[in-house]
Copies of this chain bind each other. A is one copy, B any other.
Amino acid sequence: MADMCRWYIADGYLPSFSTGQLESHESLCVLNTTEQAAMLHLTVYFEDRSPIMGFRFNCPAKRTVHVRLDAVENDDGESIPRGVPYAMEIESTVPVVVQHSRMDTSQKALALFTTMGFSQ
C-alpha cells in the first residue's frame, strides 16, 4: 500500500523554448487533505551528475500547492536547468498526493501531459 509520504516522477524535462503567451514549464501539484502542514523535500536526479537535494517547500493543512519547477531554488541557490532530462523523489512529513504536469509550447500551439506520481 502506498504510504503517500514518498513519491517518484521519472520523466522531468523543462523545454528550452516557448512560443506564444505561455511559457513552457512543469508543475508539481501536491494535495494535503490532512489536518497537519506537510513539509516537503524534493531531490532532483540527473543522467550524468549527482542528485541535487535541498529543495524545500510546504503544503499547509487542507491546501494544495502547485509548484513551478522552473522557479524552485534549493538551500544553495541551485535551480533545475532547462533542456536537461531529470527525475524527482518527493518526501513529505505527512501523507499527500503528488501529480506532475508539463506544458510544452516549444512548437506553435501547446502540448500538455500529466501523471500521478508513483508511490509505494
Residues of A within 8 A of B (CB): 1-2, 4, 8-13, 19-22, 27, 29-31, 33, 43, 45-48, 50-51, 62-66, 85-89, 97-99, 101-120
B114 and A115 contacting across the interface, CB-CB below 8 Å: yes
Which of B22, B51, B66, B115 contacts A85, CB < 8 Å?
B66
Which of B45, B103, B108 contacts A108, CB < 8 Å?
B108
B33 and A8 contacting across the interface, CB-CB below 8 Å: yes
* Contacting residues, chain B, for A86 (C-beta < 8 A): 64
Which of B29, B87, B106 contacts A110, CB < 8 Å?
B106
Which of B11, B43, B98 contacts A66, CB < 8 Å?
B11
Known: A10-B64, A101-B113. A2 touches B120 (CB 8 A): yes
